[in-house]
Homo-oligomer: A and B are copies of this chain.
Amino acid sequence: MKLVKVYVTLKPSVLDSQGEAIKSAVHSMGYDQVEKVSMGKYFELHFQDYENLEKDVDAICDELLTNPNIETYRYEILEEK
């Protein structure tokens, strides 16, 4: 089994309204040292092991998990016990 962890973030050009809102909430909690907050998505996919898995992960990310107009992603593939 493989565990694929996918991290999706908004492209820098897209305004991250949730991140902004969280930043002001953090400030109103008194933590002024926080200069920027961005919010993204995190996925864990459990795969049966097979060859060329990476190609499929790319496809799943490109066609489903992200919208390339606004988001980018990276992932890591880990061995699952």
Contacts and interface: CB of A to CB of B under 8 A. Distances in A.
A43 B64 contact: no
A50 B31 CA distance: 11
B41 A35 contact: no
Interface residues of A, number: 34
Contact of A46 (B34, B59, B60): B34
Contact of A9 (B34, B35, B44): B44
Contact of A8 (B36, B42, B45): B42
Contacts of A44: 9, 36-38, 40
In the A-B complex, the 10 residue pairs with the smallest Cβ-Cβ separation, listed nearest first, are: A42-B42, A33-B48, A36-B46, A40-B42, A35-B46, A38-B44, A37-B45, A7-B42, A33-B47, A31-B56
